[in-house]
Structure 1
Amino acid sequence: MVDLLIFNKAEKEMDGVMIKNTTRSMICMMSVELCVFLLFHNLDLCFTIETISPNELIRDSDSITSLNQTFKLGFFSPGNSSNRYVGIWYNSLPGGRIYIWVANRDNPLTDSSGVLRITNDGKLVVLDGKEEVVWTTNVSVTVNSSRAELLDSGNLVLRAVSSNESSSNSGQILWQSFEHPTDTLLQNMKFGANIRTGEKQVITSWQNTSDPSKGRFHAELEPLNIPQIVIWEGSHRHWRSGPWDGRIFIGVEGMYSESLNGFGLVRDEEEGNVYVTLSYRRKPLYVMYVLSSLGQLSENRFDEEENRWVQDSLMPETECDFYGKCGSFGFCDLSSKPVCICLKGYEPNLIEEWGNGNWSSGCVKRKPFQCEQNRTSSEEGKSDGFLKHERMKVPDLVNWVRSRDLEDCKQTCLLNCSCKAYSYGTGSGCMWWDKDLIDTQVFSTDGVDLYIRVAHSELDEKKSIIHVYIIIVLTGLVVAVICMYIFWRWAMRKRRKTYTGVLVLGKSGNTKKLSDADKLDPELPIFRYDKLEVSTNNFDLANKLGEGGFGSVYMGKLPSGQEIAVKRLSKSSGQGTEEFMNEVVVISKLQHRNLVRLLGCCIEGEEKMLVYEYMPNTSLDAFLFDPKKKELLGWKKCFQIIEGIGRGILYLHRDSRLRVIHRDLKPSNILLDKDLNPKISDFGMARIFGGDEIQANTKRVVGTYGYMSPEYAMEGLFSEKSDVYSFGVLLLEIVSGMRNTGFYFHEESVSLIRHAWKLWNEDKIQMLIDPASYDISREEEILRCIHVGLLCVQEYAKDRPTMSSTISMLTSEISSLPTPRQPAFSGREISSDTDCSNKDCSRNNVSITTLEGR
């Protein structure tokens, strides 16, 4: 039947052609036969048009392209899904397909039998193999017919087509995808609401990268007197932009550049529309806002010079951006520890919960407002006042009133006893709040002045509180000096004799390992004390880089101009000499691009110092746990740092002259050079293994809690797998941007490992990713790092991979990785003879027969 239809069509076409000679006839017949052959062999035929006409079918293998070739409309299967969807994506940009719109997102096709067409009544529909409608524009069409067109803006429009070209309806837009977005906002798209009809343009996240159905998060514009954008998680607020002041949303830090670049808000009083515009006035040509499955609205632009997508902003980005982080009358400050603080004149509602990091209960007034109580003679005339908070994101649930200036706004609030705070801006006018002050934070830049109402007595107490603080601080300093002097005198009496040789102390028999060929490198330079004293400007505090468990580190400059880092052993430490000697011996034998380089040492009398190459970017933890600095790294650099650390550990375990177990891997012991290349440092606790030695045991556990493997922390057993465990913790910290210890989630104190394992079992592991380093184009690589991290922190050492296997899993695209087993959730405390390396401490209260270098 198909043959007959095809040949009938061919014959009708050939009837209108004048066949001039036999050769031409043969060519035409061969063309027809070739068409039949191609049809029967199901070869993909792709339309290169930008419109869909009535009765025209777009099959699964077909597509249409916008006139300038920027956008393409067709069928696709996202990620690992086998379902088929109709959508629009960028046509020719690198970095994989970026989908901007999906038609049948909640009703996928299960096979490739679907078609896209215009029906007889002018609707654009997607049909499955049974010709049942899975998606439709669902518009009433009163004209003769319609056609669909993919515009150069990425907008799919359905236009009226009339047989009478002079008809007023001809060319009229009946429906457009820009008014029905999925998770993406593009340039020239209007994102807003109609105050009169209640209609809204809402963007809703995907479930995940393989499922475009509606996810947990959606964003919309609230068309209030002062509009703002709100991201919702279900029925709960997740993030908000703060009010619009005529130029910017004042709750988004650093938004002035967006305003200058064409971001704006329009009020159409006649139609009742309020909407955001994204009409950029300059390059880049391609800009989009995407609401991710993690509930983050990101601004992405295509950088033509770098030929890749670049993420310019992310909302929410830090923990302070999440809605109501600090409860009512509390505000969030990233530079503070803890991050939540009560507003002036308020105190924690539940002090114990607040101290434990549960800030959801918020704060309450210390003293009632004067207007709320009956005046007494002593309080007569003392009205309420206001205390100023600078650079603030204003609270939610704002009221607005016309006002001449700041003073007029203040009086308006003062005369209304229900007014709890006010703020005034030239663009926003007078804003005031009569409900609980919630979702406030302090910005490092931008922000507005927020005036908090307090009782008059609070204004007087402000000065007296400062005086109390000064007395407390001075008293504390005096007590601390006295305690330090007593401790120093005790340490001097307990100090052991200075070592006369260079040894790595360990179990019986291990000292001999460094005899003969393994002695201290004779080519290691020995620095004089007076030279180092000059290079560090007499160990000036201004040159101090940091302080560790057994001394301080200073920056210095040699006469040649070379910058150095000088680690000076604390004279008051009774244990540090062991670690000093251990570090000299170990690191003098090691040379690798991912290990810090030892330039020399100094041993003169009681002074013991190590001289290292200078690392201008300090340590990894300075970047990792600071959202602003973490953003500077980006995921690409984070992964390079992960690779570098891994290769450095592999060198210690397998490729160096000595087999070394580091035993104290943590972010503060990973230094970064000027190019942010990682360098493993601090070998004071390292242990050298013999050629046939697999594991060792010690009575004296050294290291940092949170990075020690469970068998080492509890039983003193350590091996290569101990360092693998520490590396796994590092992996999870780099991906999440959170510390393993002191970690809180939903006001519950848990370890980062426990939290990651919980998300893994709930199939929500993407929620562990730090927004500051998230890169949608490298999501699989990030998830692979989490997977490998969980393999490294498994409870039993035999289940953990070797360091070589770990690197192989990270750097190669192995299709399937082993399923991780239960990690170690040790809740027991380390015994009293455990050394803490993150404090300046010295303990000599443990009597042991075998010394272990740390």
Structure 2
Amino acid sequence: MFSSLLSSSPLFLLSLLLFLAPPTAADLLYPDCGTTGNYTTNNTYDFNLRLLLSNLTTRTFLAGGYSNATIGQSPDQIFGLALCRGDVNTSSCRSCLNTASVDILRLCPNYKAAVIWYDLCRLRYANQDFLSMTDNNPQLFLKGVDGIPDGDLFDELVQKLVKAVTDWAAFNSTRKFATGEVNFTTAFPKIYGLAQCTWDLKGFQCQQCLQWFFGQIPSWFEGERGGTMLGVRCYLRYNVSKFYQEASILRLASQLVNATAPAAPHTPDREEGNKKSMTGFVLPIIMPLVIAFMLICTICICFWRRRKSKIKLPDESIPEEITSVKSLLIDLSILRVATANFSDVNELGQGGFGTVYQGILPDGRQIAVKRLTISSRQGLEEMKNELALLAKLQHRNLVRLLGVCLEEQEKLLVYEYVPNRSLDTFLFDPIKSKCLRWGRRYKIIEGIARALQYLHEDSQLKIVHRDLKASNILLGADMNPKISDFGLARLFGGDQTEGTTSKVVGTLGYISPEYAMRGHFSTKSDVYSFGVLVLEIVTGRNNSDPSEDLLSYTWDKWSEGRSLEILDPALGHHCQGSEVLKCIQIGLLCVQDNPSDRPNMSTVVLMLNSNTVSHKAPSKPALCTRKSRGAYDHNLSRPIPMSPNEMSITELEPR
């Protein structure tokens, strides 16, 4: 039965409901035999496999808990991985892997790929190179016993605990391992948590792996006292009973329960007399030390303030509206610690302006730090001016700028960290796209529309983004969309609503026809890009694919009355047809050839949130023949690069 469940699920997920206590360390949790073929006993593949298993057991034991290896040459090449739980000693690790090496051959005989889970270790081999990927499948979900006295409090503490051990394992442990505990109730004094990744994952990759598990907790383990989520790349578990061997690495104070310490019991008079005697003896010694310490602190603070007052920004005549950038300044030393001195392990990606690193501030906030290259186009004063403007843009669907550092020739921009990367990594991936159910896609469309309405109409600044696309939409932990990368944005002042440029920049396929042909841009240019993005979200098709014209495809189906045929197959049949048709119609209206025929974003938001608004029938959209995937520079008559798929410093251009 289990094998049929595994083979019928595209993500190879298995839910096992355990009404008894969690398995002991010696218990086998589950084997999963692969689907990539079989080998013949005593042939070369069989010999290589046995050699690999022996090699993995020895290397993992010697390395302290993790190893991977490759044996043989194609077509008999085998890739393997072994991982022991981070709290077990080397002898227990070796014993578990020895058992796993025997059981995996016994339970999956002659399979060219298999994985086996124990509570203390896991072992995997395959005839395909999974070591070069971060894919966590197959996965195993184990439920605990239900019945929690205070479900809401328990869920909130679990979220707090799981987040803490996830971040610690990803960024504070070379072994990618963390345990933690948090106080709960008298019936269940503590909740225990554990997170682990394979050592070869980068920090952000480990965090992404664990956060995906974290997002499954509400749907898989609601009302349960514990849950175990096992993959081949990461492992997450929590329970009201302690299930690991060492003392907890993290001990979290529950701010959700009464933090007042109980009153000390009354002690006998003799004990009080002894305390008074001791106080009379200690005070003459302690008080001079305390006074001296306070004097030293006062002197240090005065010296620091005098030294700080001498540090001035390069231009003391900066206007009042720009001086707010001072409140954004962050010390370089803080950012060095937060990013482990800009370690490669914390690298999130690279773009045209520099490299983005993940970090954690002393107050626990996660950040993304953009380290601009020395050759970056922006000067110090221009950068200050633009940062002061960007800092005033506050909207839940815009990536928020938190700070800036301008020390030691460094130019660092600090943004809020958005954990789920960009929309395109989900939308155009055949596996991850299944996580984007229709309700979630509709909310993403709504969130992007609200952000554009804010930029175009509601903020004190009127901004045209000019590079709206799926890779510039970042997704938060709750899949809340946030527009990022204002590197090509233009600022309008006063009553200005449009502009003209001799150099067209952006991403081909998303650029409006009037901008591409004549250099005319306006808020309706963003509306066009939004329309393309809506159609991508509905269809799951990448408009940047030169082999297919998304707008032509959509219009043909719409005009033939077969609009629902363009729906992304990953959605299945779990969507509302009326909402899908509404989004297709909005998308086609937004990509009309004439800018005046496109709705403004306030109208789009109204259409998305109302079923009573009459929708104008779209006409045939603007269709552009695409010959390259870059933007086009009409000045130079040659392709120019697309904007990078990471957050970059804004290059707002006022009137």
TM value normalised by structure 2: 0.50
More strand by share: 1
User: Could you say which structure has the larger radius of gyration?
Assistant: 1
Greater RCO, 1 or 2 (C-alpha within 8 Å, sep 6+): 2
More helix by share: 2
